[in-house]
Structure formats: C-alpha cells, structure tokens
Amino acid sequence: MISRNNDFFFETSEGKGTSEFVIQVLDKFVQSLNKPTLLVLDNCSIHKSAAFKEKAKEWENKNLFIFYLPPYSPHLNICERVWKELKARWIITEDYADFHTLKERVLFVL
C-alpha cells in the first residue's frame, strides 16, 4: 500500500495471492492507524470474498474504510504505477535468472 505522501506499507508472500493473506496484512496495517484512512482497492476477487467483506466491517470500527475502484481503471491506482516502474526500470533481465534472485531484487527495491 502506498499513500499520496509516499508512505509505503507492504508484506510479501510466495505463491498465489489469497483473501486470507490480504486480511492478515490489513489486520496488521489497521493497528498502525491513528486517523481515519481510506484504502483504495481494485476489483480483484480476493478483495471481494465473503471473508474480506466481513472483516471490512470490523476495520471500519478501527478507522479503515475500503473504496473499490471502477472496473478497468488501473490508472487510478497509484500502486499500479509502482508495479509498472518496478517491472520496467527497477528490475533488469538478469534479476529473472532464478526465483531467489528475483525475490531478493524485489525486496531490495521495495
């Protein structure tokens, strides 16, 4: 997650992204909030699961509010810009040599 002030909060995992992982990350993130915060998300299915929607109700009580972008609007999601730069400029061909090398490079960049 990245704010308009370039505050950056992230966690990493290996394998397929899941609602459970995102819920764990947001449970951790919500503990750091000291003011109402709006989290802008795309319409990925892991952001729309029943478990996620149930947790969203809890997060609202802790000042975290979820806003979903309209479909097909990655230009409105500032994290998409980070990923674009990561893939286009910050990771070079040699970083794809193997999984370990790629993982280390991504963690370094983040």
The pLDDT mean for the chain works out to 88
Distance, in Å, from the CA atom of 72 to the CA atom of 76, rounded to the nearest integer, reads: 9
Architecture of domain 1-72: 2-Layer Sandwich (3.30)
pLDDT, one tens digit per residue, over 3-26 is 777 787 888 888 888 999 999 999
pLDDT, one tens digit per residue, over 56-104 is 999 999 999 999 988 777 777 777 777 788 888 889 889 989 989 988 9
Quickly state the pLDDT bin for 37 (edges 50, 70, 90): very high
Quickly state the pLDDT bin for 38 (edges 50, 70, 90): very high
Backbone angles phi, psi at 49, to 5 degrees: -65, 160
Enter the pTM of the model: 0.70
Quickly state the pLDDT bin for 52 (edges 50, 70, 90): very high
pLDDT score of 36: 95
**Where along the chain do the CATH 3.30.420.10 domains lie?**
1-72
Q: What is the DSSP string of the chain?
A: -B-TT--B-----SSS--HHHHHHHHHHHHTT-SS-EEEEE---GGGSSHHHHHHHHHHHTTTEEEEEPPTT-GGG-HHHHHHHHIIIIIS-GGGGSSHHHHHHHHHHH-
Residue 67 Cα distances to 43, 86, 97, angstroms: 10, 25, 38
Neighbours of 76 (CB within 10 A): 10
pLDDT for residue 31 is more than 80: yes
